[in-house]
Amino acid sequence: MLSDAPVAKPGPKRRRRICRACDSCYKRKIQCDAATPRCNWCHHHDLPCTFKRNQERNLALSKAREQHLSKPHNSDSTSGVGSQSNLHVAGHALGNLCTFNGLPFFSPTGRQWIKTRTGEEVNLAHMSPWPSTSSQVTSTGVPHSVALPEKETVVQLLGEWRDSVFSKLFPFINRELLESTIRAAYHDEITVSSPGADSARACIHAFTALCLSSSTPHGHQVMHAEDHVLAAYKLLPGLLLESVTLDGLQTVLMLCLCSLVVTGNIFYLETLLTTSTRFIFHLNGHLAPVYVDEDQFRTNLHIRNLFWICYLFDKELSLRTGYPPCLDETQCDLTLPDIQQTTQEFLTCIRLAILQSQVYHGLYSMKALRQTDAQLLGTIRDLDDALETWRMSIPARNRPRLIDRETDAVSTPNTLFQLQYLYCMAMIHQASGKCSVWVQNHDTSEAGSSLAISVEASRSMLQKFLDDRLHFDKNNLRFCLPYFLTAICHLFSNILLNPLGEGSDDDLDLITSVPTHIRNRLPPEIPRLSTHQIKLFEDFVMELGRLASSAISKAQEFFENS
């Protein structure tokens, strides 16, 4: 049986795992009836019925700990990854991904643990957060100035956007207010709602990029989304020199989504979120709107929608990266919008963001790291209940489930909520890896254990994807890559902890099948920078697959020679 990696600090005495099969039955992978004085197999083959393997394993563990503690070492914080903290794949910060023993994957200690389990070095030589020229070139690779699209094209894109499901999830644009933006951008007609030309032009470019990255092919598809993303970026200095404007807020928030879907650049996203947060407070979006007159109330309602979009991005990003959120909730009125003034899909997203904030503060914040085991497990139970409450608040047609029913509808909202549900379930329960009881036990196979729930949620997500039980198209596939990445890392960690476990080979197949399945479902016209992010995702997942395969092979070799 494979010995565990040495730990950095001496912990409480390890509880011995109960042997449910004798040594002979365990070696042959057959059912042991545990009869005394000898089981059925040992009795009929006249063999001694022994349970010595855990004793030998504990001796090896003690020896490994003594050897490790005799050497100088530097411990790693569970909240950081040192020199690897700037690595991002598919919109996820690798530094916030932890193994089930609480070690960040790519900290020095985390990488050493992976090497101990696999016998291989972690190869990140091919990794980089984004192409070095991503901020300077367009989709054709040649720097040039990008003109505003024709006004007729903007109107056509607006119609497509209003008919898309993403407009229900992210109401960036109000049609009436966009008219003043168009006049300011194309004719320099300044109004109260659009007082700056640079802000208006940047808003048009950002909106064009957003629509091109999610709409179906039409004649205007000769334009490239990333061209307009970069054009909007170039206008940001002028935007920031103007007064705080509604157009400016719309621009930075739409660029936030483009940073996730088109460029995959989390550093830009963090900067944009910080800017949008200040815009929100200056425009009073953090306060519930009060009716004064029709025009002002319409504008205030739209600003309030933009506040909630900012809130969604902020809480999602803090959970992905482990970094503190930008929006201070103690300074915000979190009164939910009236269902008559919004869509059910947007309201569901808002409730989820509030839950994600609770998950971050309860499990991943600095304060959460000081919890005792009992407090940590209590927080996990409370958050699991809150997740179930959120799930039940969703109309039945889009309600996510761990196990599908034959009558379940397959749609974009259903798919996104399904992924969010399984992602949050995994993130809630994987936090039990910080609990010393789980760290010492290193067992995720027991039914009902918190880590087992995390593994099962991750397994369910990937299996649904591979079985085509989720609805993916150009609108949402790249948006969902971070959820797949988290699920893959959870299965990878479980394989390393239990390389000879019953489902290890199947989990390895799940991991290695995902990149090909994604590649086969991508449309041909995705932006070049998105192609780079997908390639980065594929390379990273295949590296995890290689390491997981090595861990299984090493464990099998150790078992056969023992």
pLDDT in tens, 176-209: 999 999 999 999 999 988 999 999 999 999 999 9
Each residue's pLDDT tens digit, 127-170? 655 444 344 444 444 445 789 999 999 999 999 999 888 899 99
Q: Which residue has the tokens 């009836």?
A: 33
- CB of 6 within 8 A of CB of 65? yes
Alpha helices in 18-164 (DSSP H): 23-28, 40-44, 53-69, 108-118, 151-163
Does residue 521 sit in helix, strand or coil? coil
pLDDT > 70 fraction of the chain, expressed in percent and rounded: 74
Cβ atoms of 248 and 279 closer than 8 Å: yes
Q: Are 85 and 267 in contact (CB under 8 A)?
A: no
Residue with tokens 């020896």: 63
Whether the CB-CB separation of 90 and 484 falls below 8 Å is answered with yes
pLDDT value at 61 more than 60: no
The winner for highest mean pLDDT among 85-89, 303-307, 372-376, 459-463 is 303-307
Q: Helices in 119-261 by DSSP H: which ranges? A: 151-163, 166-169, 175-187, 197-212, 225-234, 236-241, 246-258
Strand partners, 92: 89
User: For residue 70, is pLDDT > 60?
Assistant: no
pLDDT digits (tens, 9 = 90+) for 481-526: 888 988 999 999 899 988 998 889 999 999 999 999 888 887 766 6
pLDDT confidence bin for 315, thresholds 50/70/90: very high
Position 8 scores a pLDDT of 39
Q: For the chain, what is the radius of gyration of the CA atoms?
A: 26
Domain regions of the chain by residue span: 111-130+343-561, 151-340
pLDDT band per the 50, 70, 90 thresholds, residue 358: very high
pLDDT for the residue numbered 449? 77
41 contacts 466 by C-beta, under 8 angstroms: no
pTM metric for this prediction: 0.79
Tokens linked to 90: 């598919």
Residues facing 88 on adjacent strands: 93
* pLDDT value of position 442: 53
**Rounded-to-integer distance, Cα 187 and Cα 151, Å:** 11
Q: From CA 393, how far away is CA 389, in angstroms rounded? A: 6
Does an H or E element contain 370, and which?
none
Task: Name residue 208's amino acid.
Answer: T
pLDDT of 360 over the 80 cut: yes
3-state SS assignment for residue 89: strand
| Structure confidence by residue, pLDDT tens digits, 4-20 | 444 334 443 333 334 45
